[in-house]
Chains A and B, each alone.
Chain A
């Protein structure tokens, strides 16, 4: 869709759903509902492109990442890599898939075995998959490629800085020359000063090797830097899926709130006068999902439509909006998408007043 070629997307995710059952009782376990972590998520990523997945904590983005990396088994739905459904792979086929799909973790230090040297960690994928050739030289090359001194291969994770640890994690993911890399909050645990370097490394690697990325983040800045397309996820469902450039002009009220919450980017205009859309309340429970639109309880736009800060239109409460294309080709799940001139800030402030007193 983006590059106009007719080749099949590298990654096709169809109706992906994950529910974690809640059970009670030790001997006679019985079900007490389920956590709806991911619900009916569908998207594709073209070869060599980057999809960003944004959402707040608990929205199901990490679960989605882990399902694509086959670390968690989906409840239903399919994930196709290069046209092959990977959700049912086991044994040798699964190990072959591991060479194609690699993951970089948020907790760089935690993702490295403290009892192994950097060289052993980066060389592990080569050992596991019996990659022929001089492993030591291969590891040195990988370390060098991610900007580490190959002589540091004998060092242990605790002897590296945060950014260097994430580079080790990237080198390990790179070792098997994957076609798809899942980046789960790749820089959120790093100092701001180091974040940009790691992001630049990731874009360089993509340009060189044509790797397809799925990047998970709660940070729109990171997403804008890496992604070609962005999926905004709320309570396990995609609410808006658009080109990265278009996401700065959101049409879903939730995306608008996310965008307004991101720190101002230098050079994007309004500067200090910019105001946030402050959402009222927490995200609803993922165990008992709200009826209708999952966002209706916190949606300022719905209040604009009803004309009353404490009422939402009947449709938002009873009917779930489907994810579908709008006029510009972006995917959207909202009954009343934003129009220019909507005063969401004002509506959000009006919603907050009787609940928690006056709020600036």
Chain B
């Protein structure tokens, strides 16, 4: 029979549950990890202000046609007689044109609101594409290792080694010479092209973070436990590892969005972004660069919006990082 050199410390008949209930969980309410992150983010005043600003901006961008209706000026309506003087210079803010007009006599306020559409669209969609590519390749490279790891890592190194702006300008101008675009018509000039260019240059950073985190997580006991119950490797990657990447991915994505917005502004500033008929903050600043000595509003309003948006995304990203890992802020 069983060796009983060591007598059991507690009689067998005692209900073990009552004995161990002396150590209750710290919080009686059931809280998911996402719920705790939100609870910690909510108390961050700066983060909440920035978040409210971004939500308001997004609402304005979505409701841009409504705003145009209310103001009574479309984004491409020309008011050459009323808002441009006889020397061809635009007129400044007044009761009906809150932000003044540009040199073509278009309402700058309406164009700034429409510009938010382009900026947010480019920022969010380009980041989403970069996140998907970076996460999938990073997971596979980090978890599988071997030849795939080498292949993807070298790919990302190559992209990171490219002179970013130079290549972006090259691709952009090569694809913008004809309305058909390039790559057999899949890349037409305009917002799509800008998004693709930004995504191509943004994914390696996400890839590196995901790969490094996966690499360290692969050795953790709960991954070993998943293997011990017979889970397939693919399911371990996507069901066990991926949810644990949420915090670095979300935080880094929140930082990638303002970078993408800025990148779009660079391209549009250089005249290689979206066409002039689509209002964009970068494009507006490009115009302003020739006239700002006489028409300050051309630079100030799009500039403030660009600055505030970038700042807000960075503050939110910062707040998210602290909310995901409370120890990091100390």
Q: Which residues of A contact B (CB under 8 A)?
A: 50, 66, 69, 71, 94-95, 98-99, 102-103, 105, 107, 110-116, 124-125, 128-129, 147-149, 154-156, 159-161, 163-164, 169, 172, 175-176, 194-197, 199-201, 203-204, 221, 224-225, 227-228, 243-245, 248, 265, 267-268
Contact = CB atoms under 8 A, between A and B. Distances in A.
9 contacts: A113-B226, A147-B20, A156-B31, A172-B229, A200-B8, A201-B16, A224-B3, A224-B6, A228-B2
A38 B221 CA distance: 21
B220 A98 contact: no
B20 A111 contact: no
Given A163-B20, A197-B10, A102 B3 contact: no
Contacts of A124: 226, 229, 231
A224 B5 contact: yes
Contact of B9 (A110, A172, A196): A196
Interface string B1-38: 01101111110100011011001011100111100000
B63 interface: no
B225 to A, nearest CB: 5
Given A112-B222, A199-B8, A227 B3 contact: yes
Interface stretch (B165-173, B186-194, B240-248): B240-248
- For the complex, would chain B's binding face be called helix, strand, loop or mixed by DSSP majority? loop
B171 to A, nearest CB: 33
Given A110-B220, A197-B16, A94 B225 contact: no
A107 B26 contact: no
A232 B229 CA distance: 28
B5 A128 contact: no
Contacts of B225: 103, 105, 111-112, 169, 172
Contacts of B9: 195-196
B146 interface: no
B230 interface: yes
Chain A CB within 10 Å — which of B3, B7, B27 has the most? Answer: B3
A194 B8 contact: no
A114 B224 CA distance: 14
Interface in B213-236: 220-222, 224-232, 235
Chain A CB within 10 Å — which of B26, B226, B229 has the most? Answer: B229
Contact of A111 (B25, B31, B222): B222
A245 B26 CA distance: 42
Chain B CB within 10 Å — which of A154, A196, A248 has the most? Answer: A196
Nearest to B222: A113
Nearest to B5: A224
Contacts of B8: 196, 199-200, 225
Given A107-B221, A224-B6, A228-B3, A98 B25 contact: no
Contacts of B244: 113-115
Interface string B121-139: 0000000000000000000
Contacts of B246: 115
Contacts of A116: 243
B25 A225 contact: no
Given A164-B23, A200-B10, 7 more contacts: A66-B224, A115-B246, A129-B230, A154-B30, A197-B19, A224-B5, A265-B6
B230 to A, nearest CB: 3
A103 B228 contact: yes
B229 A156 contact: no
A159 B12 contact: no
A155 B24 CA distance: 12
Contacts of A154: 30
Contacts of B12: 200, 204
Contact of B224 (A98, A99, A111, A228): A111
Nearest to A164: B20
A322 B175 CA distance: 77
A50 B3 CA distance: 10
B25 A155 contact: yes
A184 to B, nearest CB: 10
Given A114-B33, A115-B246, A225-B8, A203 B2 contact: yes
A163 B225 CA distance: 18
A125 B232 CA distance: 11
Contacts of A169: 225
Contact of B243 (A115, A200, A228, A245): A115
A90 to B, nearest CB: 12
A210 to B, nearest CB: 13
Contacts of A159: 25-27, 30-31
A249 to B, nearest CB: 11
A154 B224 CA distance: 23
A95 B5 contact: no
> Considering the complex of A and B, which 4 residue pairs feature the smallest CB-CB distances, nearest first?
A98-B230, A244-B3, A196-B9, A159-B25
Given A111-B222, A163-B20, A197-B20, A265 B230 contact: no
A42 B10 CA distance: 35
Nearest to B245: A115
